[in-house]
Structure formats: C-alpha cells, structure tokens
Amino acid sequence: MRIDIITIFPDYFAPLELSLIGKARAAGILDIRLHDLRTWTYDRHSTVDDTPYGGGPGMVMKPQPWGEALDSVTAGAEAPPRLVLPTPSGAPFTQNDAKRLSAEPWLVLACGRYEGIDARVPADAARRMPVEEVSIGDYVLAGGESAALVVVETVSRLLPGVLGNAESAVQDSFASGAMENLLEGPVYTKPAQWRDQEAPPVLLSGDHGAVDRWRRHEALRKTARNRPELLRELAARRLDELERSDRELVLELLERVPEE
C-alpha cells in the first residue's frame, strides 16, 4: 500500500519510522511518502493561510497550495488514490472504515490546520478521485496530523505481513464476527501471581473452550461498563447469533446498564 501525507509539519510523522509501521516500510509492505505543503507556496513567508471570507476568528488554509500539492502528488497516476481528510466535522472513523481503507492500494491524507482547508479543495479533488472526511472523535485537535497518524496505524496494522501474529487483529476490540464492535477484555501474562493479585485460573487451565468463553464474557462486561451503547446495539441487531451463555450474559448486563 502507498500512503502520501501532505502537511505543514512533516517532522510530526517521525513515529512512522518506529515499531511495526517502520518495519513494514523497511520490508516494502508500506510505502509512506511525506510532503511539505509549503513546497507549493511562492511568497517569501511560505504562506498557507488567510483570513476567512465572511469574517470570524482564526485563519483558513488557502486553496492554491493544496490544489497544486494534490495535482503534483497524484500526477501521472494510472488509477486515482482515495483522499482522506481528517477533520472534527467528518464522519466517525471506525474499525470497519480501517478495514475498508486497508483494501485500497493508495491513500492520500491531507492534514488541515487552523480553521480548516478551503472547501473548494475537496470539491475540486472529488472531480478526479474519491474523497472522504473522517473524525477520530468528538473533540478538536490543533491540526490533522495526530488524526492522520491514527488512520495510518489502524489501517496499516491490517495489511498482510505487518503484524507478527495475524490472529492479534482478529481478537482486537471492534473485531469482526457476531460480537464485532465490542471492547477487548482484560489480558494477563507471567507471573501467575503478582503482588496480591492472581491471573484468572481459567487462563492457566489449558481448556481452550473455557478460555474463549471467559474472554467473550469479559469483553461483554467491559463493554457494558465503558461503552453500554455498543452492548445495546449488539442486543438489538445480533442477539440471536450469540451462543447461549453469551446471550444470557448480555441480557443480564442490560438489566444493569443505565438507559440512554
């Protein structure tokens, strides 16, 4: 997969040289290219923003450098990339979106700053490539770089060969199956006893069926505590698909979950 990132702070993406992403890049699984938006400015201050039409606080990123940057990055492409714009006004970015984007051969991430990018930029880009705006949460960041890192990592770890154990992605929070979109339960490692706490005996039992059942039940309990709306959604849509013990626990937990 190829990922181009356009930003005014290329150094922000130094973490992409580390850990699994760095190894994937070194192995040729992932081709990440960074572009400084100021490359496409022509005044001595390398200006990328201006005051908003209609008045108001803050500054807006100018269309000219963005338009030229996208033209340059995508020039000569046989097939267009998908342009992803991280923004608090975008659609919620989910694990399903990460799976979908991981099947794309080429992504371009545009990292906005200030009050955002002139709206004509994505409108113009949409004439020649698919464009989507995504939000990683209901809060506002100083810029799109942090969100872009989130998108790159969530998408990249789903690529074949990136994770050392592909099964890890299957067991993640929000993984697929009848119990998709649930939180992952607690995890433990050696020693079996640490300070005054013991690892759950079932995990040391060697009974794989019991272990799987314990993990599912703990995932349900954690989801009920931290994301009760996900448990309600599971009950509404897929309750009949669950194993009997899982279904009984869901109904029990729902009695304790406060109403929305």
Which sequence positions are flagged as catalytic? 88, 115, 157, 172
By three-state DSSP, how is residue 205 classified?
A: coil
Q: Is 138 annotated as a binding residue?
A: yes
Residue 140 known to bind ligand: yes
Give CA–CA dist 84/86, Å, rounded. Answer: 6
Buried-exposed string 164-180: b where 16+ CB fall within 10 A, e elsewhere: eeeeebeeebbbeeebe
How far apart are alpha carbons 34 and 30 in whole angstroms? 13
- Binding residue per annotation — 139? yes
State how far the Cα of 218 lies from the Cα of 253, in Å rounded to an integer: 11
CA distance 243 to 150: 34
Q: Which residue has the tokens 């990460």?
A: 98
Helices (H), 58-160: 63-74, 95-102, 120-125, 145-156
- 118 conformational bin, left if phi > 0, alpha if psi -120 to 50, beta if neither: beta
Q: Is 141 annotated as a binding residue?
A: yes
> Does the annotation place 112 within a ligand binding site?
yes
Tokens of 79: 């097939």
User: Would you call 69 exposed, middle or buried from its count of C-beta atoms within 10 A (0-12, 13-18, 19+)?
Assistant: buried
CA 241-137-164 angle, to 5 degrees, is: 65
Show binding-site residues for S-adenosyl-L-methionine: 112, 136-141
Annotated binding site: 112, 136-141
